[in-house]
Structure 1
């Protein structure tokens, strides 16, 4: 459990760093904002599935303002922190049945879903960094080792 909890602390840390970079970049990067919105929407969709609620009405690819992103970063962190605080090691292997955004039904373990959420965001944060570099802005290091070194 400790490893998964640390992964989600890193997710929040990385989201805050990306948010700050996008807010202070000086130039709006619409594609980077779109990808960041997607990360946050996807985190919310997966959280909704984890708690057994219907996620079919939730957006996945909808751009929102950076102000809304800031709210979503904090809400997603709150949701996952609360969820993980009540989860036991044995519950990680519990299989959940859920429907994806196309309505197809799948089954996955809670462990696999949580791992996916962390890795999915990291993938798209890499894309955001590539866009920042192309715009001649400094990419932000969101590697897990940087998080662990920071003592966050």
Structure 2
């Protein structure tokens, strides 16, 4: 099944909007709450945010042709300020890359090496839907963690996105 570029762009724009909303909600928390280990799949808020940012960044670089781009860069340390500063630019660049592609490219395949060291190939349009779905999943976790810390949650459902 071929997925049209405009639909992919809409979903990637939605994902950017939702992620920026989550960053706004998390920014209202005290720094110690952001950093604390809440024993979730990636520790807590900061760990989950870091995982999601690294995944978004790896997929972006893979789409640029860097098939062996690692999720974790040697010596890199994350805090909320770094994520809040770098993530919006990454997401904007990813959306711009998508809009610069033609339909044939998006229907083509991409080779990459997974984080487990496996060589993989998949259609680019399917990868882009995965990027959006992966982000939605972890944004849900982040909102749960924000609520557990006593913070205010916000809606990020697609139905709330004003861009459609």
Normalising by structure 1, we get a TM-score of: 0.88
User: What is the aligned residue count?
Assistant: 149
Q: State which drifts further: 63-72 or 42-51.
A: 63-72
Q: State which drifts further: 72-81 or 99-108.
A: 72-81
Partner of residue 34, structure 2: 29
Deviation at 1:26? 3.2
Aligned: 1:45 with 2:76: no
Aligned residue runs from structure 1 range 1-152, under 5 A: 1-26=5-30, 28-30=33-35, 31-59=44-72, 64-147=78-161, 150-151=162-163
C-alpha distance in structure 1 between counterparts of 2:92 and 2:99, whole Å: 11
Deviation at 1:82? 2.1
Structure 2's unaligned 5+ residue stretches are: 36-43
Relative CO higher for 1 or 2, CA cutoff 8 Å, sep ≥ 6? 2
Structure 1's unaligned 5+ residue stretches are: none
Do the aligned partners of 2:61 and 2:69 also contact (CA within 8 Å) in 1?
no
C-alpha distance in structure 1 between counterparts of 2:9 and 2:79, whole Å: 28
C-alpha distance in structure 2 between counterparts of 1:4 and 1:35, whole Å: 24
Deviation at 1:68? 0.8
- RMSD (Å) for aligned C-alpha atoms: 1.9
C-alpha distance in structure 1 between counterparts of 2:149 and 2:15, whole Å: 24
Q: State which drifts further: 96-105 or 48-57.
A: 48-57
C-alpha distance in structure 2 between counterparts of 1:66 and 1:114, whole Å: 25
The alignment partner of 1:107 has SS state of strand
Distance 1:151 1:79, change over 3 A: closer
C-alpha distance in structure 1 between counterparts of 2:79 and 2:160, whole Å: 27
